[in-house]
Amino acid sequence: MKTTQNSELTERLIKDRGMEVFLNLMEAPATAGELSDRLGFSRAKINYILDTMLKQDFIALHSEKVNGSVVEKCYTSNANTFHLFFGRDNSEADKVSAILYMLDTMKSNLIVNLNNQDSFHLGMVHAKIPPERAREYMERLRQLQAEFDDENLVSDDPDCRWYTMAVSLFHGPTPSLNLDERN
């Protein structure tokens, strides 16, 4: 499966809110009209974003829908996984926009699956560790994410279902609960 990496195009797409289009296409194929209605963007903006992603092979033509004399193209994502590595060059608004969209998607899917015990795990851990150890954990998380993405190779199996793994490791504020108070 393809994995999109951070690039000049990805940064431009984030600024143009193309990441929301891309993530929607990761969830299910859609036409420009459907994306416009779902996201509240103009058709012109959606078509610009779709053309840009098509040229970079981030998305592909999935099918064509005939609606009377109009043929609507339905697009799908070429990736099941993506990584964003934000740096100092990205504006705070760009970062917040991508993060909020991802969190909203996670929240919606977690709520829908709240009672589905075989596909639900949620955890958060705060740990005080040296930065080099955090980098080791980050690499292990990337490896786990890549291994999870490789599972897509068996997706033709009728018993397979879609699962989502959201991975994040970041320097955060000191938790209000003292570690010694947990026990």
Residue 102 corresponds to which amino acid? M
- In CATH terms, 1-104 corresponds, of 1.10.10.10, 3.40.50.720, 1.10.510.10, 1.10.287.110, to 1.10.10.10
Q: Would you say residue 52 has pLDDT above 60?
A: yes
pLDDT of residue 167: 76
Cα–Cα distances (Å) from 66 to 32, 34, 38, 72, 73, in that order, read: 14, 14, 20, 6, 9
Give the model confidence (pLDDT) of 3-20 as tens digits: 444 456 666 666 667 878
Q: What count of other Cβ atoms lies within 10 Å of the Cβ of residue 39?
A: 16
153 pLDDT band (50/70/90 cuts)? Answer: low
Q: What is the pLDDT of residue 179?
A: 47
DSSP 181: G
Q: Mean of the pLDDT values across residues 74-96?
A: 73
- Distance, in Å, from the CA atom of 10 to the CA atom of 86, rounded to the nearest integer, reads 11
User: Is 119 in a helix, a strand, or coil?
Assistant: helix
- For the record, the structure tokens of 34 come out as 């459907």
Show me where the domains of the chain are located: 1-104, 120-178
- For the chain, give the mean pLDDT: 78
